[in-house]
């Protein structure tokens, strides 16, 4: 028996934790809590690092048992091999399905958070430009063809 089920059990736990962190991150964006956002980013990175280590471990086990090609191991090779196994591997199949479902959920949550963050960044940039007295109308082209704002003498800081 290949000792791969434990890897998928841990992967599932990591994905569940990651999903929870992504929910917390979305709430932290709403509260503009920068300390919490930084803390959550560190926790997410730690989970992703562990997930990468598990993936490497899985690949090494699959290579060791000659299930995938040593030079170019693919997930498809593993899934093909798994589909040919008897019912003793049903628990691994179920874990893989659960992990794939959780991974899809995490990707959706991450994309949602990325859109929220992008919106917040645009809003903050606009507010910063207003404080500096810049306006979308008051922009000129530089020698390289990009635009830069013209500063106004009537900035909020000078008022």
Q: Tell me how far apart the alpha carbons of residues 55 and 89 are, in angstroms, rounded to a whole number.
A: 19
What digits encode the pLDDT tens for the residues 11-42? 999 999 999 999 999 999 999 899 999 999 99
Does the residue 49 lie in any domain? Answer: yes
pLDDT at 63: 93
Report the CATH number that the domain containing residue 12 is assigned in CATH. Answer: 1.20.58.300
Nearest to 21 by CA among 3, 47, 2: 47
DSSP codes of every residue in 65-90? TT-S-SSS--HHHHHHHHHTS-GGGH
Residues 91-119, mean pLDDT to the nearest whole number = 96
What mean pLDDT comes out for the span 81-105? 94
* Listed range (28-32, 47-51, 90-94, 141-145) with the worst mean pLDDT: 141-145
3-state secondary structure of 158: coil
Residue 39 lies in a domain: yes
The reply to whether 159 falls in a domain is: no
Name the more confident of 149 and 36: 36
Q: How many domains does the chain have?
A: 1
Q: Check: CB of residue 21 under 8 Å from CB of residue 40.
A: yes
Bridge partners for 148 per DSSP: 140
- 156 within domain boundaries: no
Dihedral sign (CA 28, 30, 126, 117): positive
Query: Does 154 reside within a domain?
Result: no
Does residue 53 form part of some domain? yes
Produce one character per residue of 125-157: b if its CB has 16 or more CB atoms within 10 Å, e if not.
eeeeeeeebbeeeeeeeeeeeeeeeeeeeeeee
Residue 127 or 18, more confident: 18
The pLDDT value recorded for residue 141 is: 66
Residue 64 confidence class, pLDDT cut points 50, 70, 90: very high
Region 41-45: mean pLDDT is 97
List the domain range (segments joined by +) for residue 65: 5-149
Give the mean pLDDT of the chain: 88
> How confident is the model at residue 38, as a pLDDT?
96
Alpha carbons within 13 A on the beta-carbon side of 81? 15
d(CA 58, CA 13): 16
């Amino acid at each position: 028996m290949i000792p791969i089920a434990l890897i998928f059990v841990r992967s599932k736990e990591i994905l569940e934790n990651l999903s929870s962190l992504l929910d917390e991150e979305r709430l932290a964006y709403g509260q503009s809590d920068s300390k919490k956002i930084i803390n959550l980013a560190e926790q997410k990175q730690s989970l992703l690092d562990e997930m990468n280590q598990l993936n490497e471990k899985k690949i090494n086990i699959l290579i060791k048992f000659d299930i995938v090609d040593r030079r170019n191991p693919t997930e498809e090779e593993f899934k093909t091999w798994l589909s040919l196994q008897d019912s003793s591997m049903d628990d691994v199949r179920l874990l893989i399905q659960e992990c794939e479902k959780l991974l899809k959920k995490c990707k959706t949550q991450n994309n949602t958070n990325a859109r929220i963050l992008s919106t917040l960044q645009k809003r903050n940039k606009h507010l910063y430009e207003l404080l500096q007295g810049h306006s979308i109308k008051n922009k000129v082209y530089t020698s390289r063809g990009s635009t830069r704002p013209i500063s106004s003498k009537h900035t909020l800081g000078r008022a």
